[in-house]
A and B are shown apart, each in its own frame.
Chain A
Amino acid sequence: QKEVEQNSGPLSVPEGAIASLNCTYSDRGSQSFFWYRQYSGKSPELIMSIYSNGDKEDGRFTAQLNKASQYVSLLIRDSQPSDSATYLCAVNRYGGTSYGKLTFGQGTILTVHP
């Protein structure tokens, strides 16, 4: 079992739709959860972080965390062609030597078509 697993893509949605990206993780000790966006040939860009169960909204992005189910998701509302990228889920066991040491999923490619 992979430590962090994302739903297989690629995911294609029409402009204006909601894109739903999912991620599961195996380490119950994980405390911090992140979503990164990565355009082709570029480095990952942090777009959302979430630390407690529930929803966290930032503009068109909503991150959802369920620690009991070891599940984290990212919803993108009103998807735009500029959202087309690879989305990476990452988890971190907070504190101590693991602070900042992230385990990434393999990424989900999202394409938003006009």
Chain B
Amino acid sequence: DTGVSQDPRHKITKRGQNVTFRCDPISEHNRLYWYRQTLGQGPEFLTYFQNEAQLEKSRLLSDRFSAERPKGSFSTLEIQRTEQGDSAMYLCASITEVGRGGELFFGEGSRLTVL
């Protein structure tokens, strides 16, 4: 499978715990995006990387959230001190910088449930 890979697919945690999600993009894609989707809503942009540099963060990304992309390969999204409002599907997508006009291809997503 050469698509975007995310892990874990499902995570159930108790409020206050830390969680980490991993995303492996399509190998030749240098841009990687994180989105969050809550029930009944469309995905919302969180942050993106070009290679290893994090170039933009949404105001939705509070200081409890941190994302990294060491060496410009896989990325991690960590949520500290989880709250029930963090329950959502966390989506990763990757894209090449040039060529197509912004077509994003999403991974399967990581669904977080905070009890």
Contact = CB atoms under 8 A, between A and B. Distances in A.
Give the interface size class of chain B.
20 to 34
Interface stretch (B13-21, B35-43, B64-72, B73-81): B35-43
A92 B101 CA distance: 9
Given A43-B106, A51-B101, A100 B44 contact: no
Interface stretch (A11-19, A65-73, A74-82, A101-109): A101-109
A1 interface: no
A42 B108 contact: yes
A22 B31 CA distance: 30
18 contacts: A4-B42, A32-B101, A32-B102, A34-B102, A34-B104, A42-B109, A46-B103, A46-B105, A49-B103, A99-B102, A100-B31, A101-B48, A102-B45, A104-B44, A106-B40, A106-B42, A107-B40, A107-B41
Interface of A: 4, 31-32, 34, 42-46, 49, 51, 88, 90, 92, 94, 97, 99-107
B23 to A, nearest CB: 12
A99 B103 CA distance: 9
Among B55, B91, B100, B102: residue with most chain A CB under 10 A: B102
A8 to B, nearest CB: 12
Interface of B: 31, 33, 40-45, 48, 55-56, 89, 91, 93, 95, 97, 100-109
A44 B105 CA distance: 8
Nearest to B93: A100
Contacts of B108: 42-43
